[in-house]
Amino acid sequence: MESIIKRIEREIESFVPSKGATETGIVRAAGDGIAEIDGLSNAVMSEMVLFDPTFDRTLEEALKDTEPIYGLVLNLEEDSVRVAVLGEASKVYEGMLVRRLGRLLSIPVGDSLVGRVVNPLGEPVDGKGPTGAKKFVPIEREAYGVIDRARVNVPLHTGIKAIDAMIPIGRGQRELIIGDRGTGKTTIAIDAILNQKNEPEEARPICIYVAIGQKESKTAKIVALLEEAGAMAYTIVLTAPASSPAAFQFLAPFAGAAIGEHFMEQGKDALVIYDDLSKQAVAYRQLSLLLRRPPGREAYPGDIFYLHSRLLERAAKLSQEKGGGSLTALPIIETQEGDVSAYIPTNVISITDGQIFLQSDLFNKGMRPAIDVGISVSRVGSSAQTKAMKKVSGKIKLELAQFRELEAFMQFTSDLDENTKKQIDAGRRMTEVLKQKNGEPLPFEMQAVVIFAATNGFFDGFTPEEAHTVEKKLRDYLIREAKNVLTSIREKKEITEDSEKELLTSLEQFIQRTQ
């Protein structure tokens, strides 16, 4: 009690009333989360405004509800401005006073955000109290230019064999995860976060998972999963659920990028996952139509491409002069019936540095992750792979492509020669080896060793059906019996001659014991 009284007394003693004039406007019309404001003639685009319900109320009424309602200036018109309400739009009424805040929409960032669940304004939504972040940064800003950037050549391991071997992602890259509903897009993203635990602490990126238009139950499940796996120690979850205003869903990815940039500018690595940009595009379309901007294709506004390009351009690998930090972006796009040629998917495909395409057919056949390696690509390529992975994964993509061709041919004929049968079996075995359960990302050295075994014929003595089980046994065996080899690969990031010899001996011993 005493402390509360002292705190209040301290506040009163140190209180300096704000002097000077504030620019204000009056709500002319409000509805659907958009307010038209009369006045504010000096307001600028993306500026924050504050709806002030206390102005025309008595002190008693005003103190009942002092929760600030912010707005974001989105349209500047001749004698009014249109503002997206960032909060409870039902509390905004005609005649309400609106104050200019004189700053662009900003969010608090800082190391204290790590482990927290926040909304696009940086306010905590996990019930753990204030985040303590003090530094404010604008959520919209220009991306780094060419001079400030360095080549993307440091791998960001997802822990998924099929990706790290065939579609490698580099720190600072933008790799799209695209596929129909329920094909495992979020699972890949979450596995990528979980896998960062396998990285040494000094090289571990800060992960930012941005949930856009998701069910709150799904986000809660993801947070619980990350907490259980100890991944919240390096993760920030930013959520704009389906129930939140369209403006929140439109802003969430930009807020995620701003948080990521904060870490990048400190010379650290950050990974941001936008789950998903289709929903952000829909939210932006809603806002644009309500703002009476002219609709274009599929009723999206004309600047929908720019919306995504200016967001994804913020992913970067900074030069050493700028600290050498990086921001990797994994945007997610949901397709309808596998149609990658729709408006938003083609836009985002053309912006990103590659895509991981997930197929419903593969998913239903039991291929998990359901990656269609034929049309998945990483434009950064092997320059973002460790020497070890580069050495073992060189042939896989070609072999799998040949296998898929033969597999299609096989459907029309039953009479196949021995060589073709062998090739098909090898392809099937490789497919089985690449299967992976969700929530079980593998460290890169383990992936390299498993792929080394598969490409060097160590699984040839087993049927394709057995390959998956044998692969699991092999991993257990290697952890038990070949720890030195794994450690050497992890530390040196390559398979040296000595390690290779040792590995071959271990693999032969394993095959002898298993067959």
Partner 1 sequence: MDEYTRVLEAVAETADEKTAEAAVQKLIAHLKSSGRMKMLPHIARELRKIGARRRLHAPHVEVASEKEKARALAEARAAGIDAKDVHVNRALISGWRARSAGMLVDESGKRALIDIYRKIIA
Catalytic residues: 379
Provide, rounded to whole angstroms, the least separation between the CB of residue 129 and partner 1: 12
Radius of gyration of the chain (CA): 27
99 binds partner 1 (CB under 8 A): yes
CA 232 to chain centre: 15
- Which range of residues in 56-64, 311-319, 421-429, 500-508 is near partner 1 by CB under 8 A? 56-64
Distance CA 214, CA 242 (A): 5
Contact 206, 385 (CB under 8 A): no
24 binds partner 1 (CB under 8 A): yes
Using alpha carbons only, give the angle 499, 500, 506 rounded to the nearest 5 degrees: 90
Contact 131, 341 (CB under 8 A): no
Distance CA 391, CA 452 (A): 9
Q: Rounded to a whole number, what is the largest CA-CA distance in the chain?
A: 93
Provide, rounded to whole angstroms, the least separation between the CB of residue 84 and partner 1: 20
Candidates 23, 148, 313, 494; binder of partner 1 (CB under 8 A) is: 23
Candidates 46, 54, 75, 383; binder of partner 1 (CB under 8 A) is: 54
Candidates 5, 21, 146, 408; binder of partner 1 (CB under 8 A) is: 21
129 binds partner 1 (CB under 8 A): no
- Which range of residues in 7-15, 230-238, 263-271, 440-448 is near partner 1 by CB under 8 A? 7-15
22 binds partner 1 (CB under 8 A): yes
Question: Which pairing describes strands 176-179 and 326-334: parallel, antiparallel, or unpaired?
Answer: parallel
DSSP string, 194-216: HHGGGS-GGGPPEEEEEEES--H
Provide, rounded to whole angstroms, the least separation between the CB of residue 18 and partner 1: 7
Q: Which of residues 210-249 bind partner 1 (CB under 8 A)?
A: none
Judged by CB under 8 A, the number of residues near partner 1 is 28
- Which range of residues in 59-67, 211-219, 279-287, 316-324 is near partner 1 by CB under 8 A? 59-67
Q: What is the DSSP letter of 181?
A: T
Candidates 2, 20, 145, 202; binder of partner 1 (CB under 8 A) is: 20
Burial profile 450-478: b = 16 or more Cβ within 10 angstroms, e = fewer: bbbbbbeebbeebebeebbebbeebbebb
331 binds partner 1 (CB under 8 A): no
Closest to partner 1 by CB, 31 or 182: 31
Binding site for partner 1 (CB under 8 A): 7-8, 11-12, 15, 17-18, 20-26, 38-41, 54, 57-59, 62-63, 66, 79, 97, 99
